[in-house]
Chain A
Amino acid sequence: MNLVPVSSPQAPRKFDLAIVGAGPAGMAAALTAREFGLSVLVVDENPAPGGQVFRAGELAGADPALARDMAPGLELIARFRALDISYRPGTTLWMLEPDTGALSLARQGETMDVTAERILLATGAQERPVPMPGWTLPGVMSAGAAQIALKTAGIVPSGKVVLAGQGPLMWLLANQLIRAGVMPVLVETRTQPILRTALEQGGIFSGFEQLAKGIGLILRARQAGMRVISGARHLRAEGSARVQALRFEGGVEPCDTLLLHEGVIPSTHISMAIGLEHGWDARQLCWRPKLDVFGASSHARIAVAGDGAVIGGWQAAVAAGQLAGLDAAMRLGRLSLDDRDFRAEASADALLQARALRPFLDALYAPSQEILAPPEESTIICRCEEVTAGSLRWAAAIGATGPNQAKAYLRCGMGPCQGRLCGPTVAAIIAETRAMSVEEVGHFRPRAPYKPITVQELAGAHQRAGGVS
């Protein structure tokens, strides 16, 4: 493991393959690329490898609340740690220029430029926004946030905990909280029937292992005594300075912490910023980059793998990372096309297997329109600039036909999150108001810096380039 400080003069500046993200896809790609002798740089915002699914695995692996879920990742992390690569944790990619292969990095106030022949974005997923009245109140968090808190710090919400929404993560988190000594209440928003959806979507045989695991999570939570309220609609978080209750049609659940979740979508901030072609995924209701089977994108230098490419879970991400690693080796002349294809078969099979259950899960947990485009006018959509659903409908009505014009009118997406969180909702509300499809409405055009850096850090890049100071 090469741990030269970012700014060190002997730190290498040129790589065969730069991987953005040290989750399952990024780690698997690095492992494969090293088999063929590529020089590899892995930059990751988190302090340790694992991505969100195996976040802080080395610290949390022995925690009985998490051990069984972390176990599959620990071996991958250990193999990744043993690699002879440049691994830069705690490092932010704030700009990427695909044509030159230049990556601009920042770590603890220092910036650095490196270049790579090939670049793999393995930036993973983010939770779909869950806008509803009151969702900005302190004490309302995403379910993933509580899970990250448990993984990184071993902490759990104190007091009454309500989980609200739907998706496999809800049941996983419920089990983890129960094991950690917290008994939540689950208010489920699922509208699709399980059995009929399964019969319609198929995949339950090839995806049997995952299905059995999912059913196990549901059964164990119920056996442990977790109360489940099904088919909840019209959710709203209530409270004055802090969340005090979740109200829904026909009921109210007092709570100290409210954890919301409506599934995950690819994190496309960087892939969109660099102008890769994206397509609308009508099944997963999200944008995703257009890729070939090896993850190669519309730009000759860039590939995307893992949940940042298409939501498929960590096993699919590992397989996709391997495929991207093989493709990088082939493109850099370390592997013939035939050998790449031969080697790819096992990973391609694993990818299919890992994705078998997705159509069922996507259909079962399809978010309702009231989550995608909240009807209540006062609901905050852009949390940074505090832009409401009502003002977005107004903007759409007077002529904003897409998110970028709405942003110009209302400042939605102009805060520090740069529209990461509100983007899907802004587009959905415009689509609904103007009777267009979300695909026609389009998406924000993100720009560098992808994460805030200081003016001084940015100016540092000028001095490095030999500018006059």
Chain B
Amino acid sequence: MTGRRFDAMVIGGGLVGSAIAWGLRREGLSVALLDEGDAAYRASRGNFGLVWVQSKGLGAPWYQRWTRQSAESWAELANDLAKQTGQSLGLAQTGGMHLCLSDQEMKDRQARMEQMKREAGNYGFDYRMLDAREAREMLPGLGPAVVGASFTPYDGHVSPLALLRSLHHSFTALGGVYLPNVKITGIATAPRNFLLNTNLGTIQAERAVLAAGLGNAALAQHFGLKAPVRPQRGQVLVTERARAALPMPTTTIRQTGEGSIMLGDSAEEVGFDTRQSQPVMAEIAHRAALSFPWIGKLNVVRAWSALRVMSPDGLPIYDQSETLPGAFTANCHSGVTLAAAHGKLLAPMIARGALDPFLAPFSAGRF
């Protein structure tokens, strides 16, 4: 494959890149999706799978809004993908809870939810603080350590791996060109003209979308962009399959469509280190068993650690290069929640060649 030209190339085949590439293809562009090999860091493979609103965007209403928009578009995304691939993503937007284990936590949570509501303004933000009894009625089996919870109806969950597979599958079925195992050996840039030398030959496109996760940090400078992202390690435990027991997810515990219960998750500043740490795993298990004592009896059959892609303020980065128009960055640590926004809202903007003004606060110029 030498010298192929596309309307757009997306660098990075994780959830962010795949959703954008899928959306660009649906806009009618010819698209190449460039991916790494099997051993990539691939935060998408470590995702917890929440479509989550209630903890996103405190003090940054534009992020709350973006997250809400994505959650509202999610059912449509899941439908589109299922129609194309025949695979269900197991999306369940049941609402979700954040459990509080002390009165102080409850007070802090309430203050946080109230601020979210204030910042939501006319957009509205429905939340309820549940006392222990109410929470227990909605989530049977909550332990005595749980004193209450916050609930919002916007939250839900989905299989992140089914999402990744469906995006790749659908993108390919729509005529997109998925190229795994790509190694970039050279980059040549001009406004609206980008050329990569790779192990698979040269790839040229009018638009270049940098969605390489942590890889963006080094890649961005070649495109007149910046992406000051760092790795943040998260560890997750997964139990054996159990019969349906959890009607809705919490911030750190959810039951998958297959029946496994996922227990999350840590936030560790350890650099590019994907090793597991026993004390952290034990802490996750401890908290899970406090929240739901019956989970204590289940076997942990899998666990992993993966690297979140974090910006300095934890919010996404979206930019178009000023010096090299046509080059875009997309970075976030919520590849699942924001998949609908990326595929259905962001991709059309990139196709048109301009990000909507309401995304301006996400520019890396803020750092």
Contact = CB atoms under 8 A, between A and B. Distances in A.
A403 interface: yes
B186 interface: no
Given A456-B297, A458-B282, A442 B38 contact: yes
A392 to B, nearest CB: 13
Given A401-B181, A411-B161, A465-B282, A447 B168 contact: no
The interface residues of chain A, by DSSP majority, are classed as mixed
Interface string B65-101: 0000000000000000000000000000000000000
A225 B270 CA distance: 65
B38 A467 contact: no
B275 A418 contact: no
B283 interface: yes
B207 to A, nearest CB: 21
Given A442-B39, A449-B303, A398 B178 contact: yes
Contacts of A462: 279, 282-283, 285-286
A469 interface: yes
The interface residues of chain B, by DSSP majority, are classed as mixed
A448 B303 contact: yes
B220 interface: no
Contacts of A453: 299-300
Contacts of B279: 461-462, 465
A461 B304 contact: no
A72 interface: no
A447 B235 CA distance: 11
B263 interface: yes
Interface centre among B35, B180, B300, B305 (most CB of A within 10 A): B300
Interface in A419-466: 441-442, 445, 447-449, 452-456, 458-463, 465
B301 A418 contact: yes
Given A416-B299, A455-B285, A459-B296, A95 B276 contact: yes
A104 interface: yes
A402 interface: yes
Interface string B212-254: 0000000000000000000000000101100000000000000
A436 to B, nearest CB: 9
B133 interface: no
A404 B164 contact: no
B136 interface: no
A208 interface: no
Interface residues of B, number: 45
Contacts of B305: 447
B298 A409 contact: no
B315 interface: no
B264 to A, nearest CB: 13
Contacts of A456: 285, 289, 296-297
Interface in B170-202: 172, 178, 180-181
Given A409-B164, A447-B276, A467-B286, A455 B300 contact: yes
A3 interface: no
A467 B302 CA distance: 23
Contacts of B296: 454-456, 459
B281 interface: yes
Contacts of A402: 37-39
Nearest to A448: B276
Contacts of A97: 275, 277-278
A405 interface: yes
A418 B286 CA distance: 23
Contacts of A465: 279, 282
Contact of B283 (A275, A415, A416, A467): A467
Contacts of B42: 408
B146 interface: no
Contact of B286 (A395, A403, A404, A459): A459
B301 A452 contact: yes
A459 B285 contact: yes
A415 B164 contact: no
A414 interface: yes
Interface string A383-395: 0000000000001
A445 to B, nearest CB: 7
Given A408-B164, A447-B302, A455-B295, A399 B35 contact: yes
Contacts of A418: 301-302
B45 interface: yes
Contacts of B289: 455-456, 459
Given A404-B39, A408-B164, A449 B300 contact: yes
Interface centre among B44, B258, B288, B302 (most CB of A within 10 A): B302
A113 interface: yes
A405 B298 CA distance: 27
A398 B239 CA distance: 29
A405 B41 CA distance: 11
A382 B277 CA distance: 28
Given A455-B300, A460-B282, 6 more contacts: A95-B281, A408-B45, A441-B38, A453-B300, A455-B296, A456-B289
When A and B form their complex, which 4 residue pairs have the shortest distance between CB atoms, in order from nearest?
A402-B38, A462-B282, A456-B296, A452-B299
21 contacts: A97-B277, A395-B165, A401-B180, A402-B38, A408-B44, A408-B165, A409-B164, A410-B165, A418-B301, A418-B302, A447-B276, A447-B302, A452-B300, A453-B300, A454-B297, A454-B300, A455-B239, A455-B288, A461-B279, A465-B282, A467-B286
Interface of A: 95, 97, 102, 104, 113, 275, 395, 398-405, 408-411, 414-416, 418, 441-442, 445, 447-449, 452-456, 458-463, 465, 467, 469
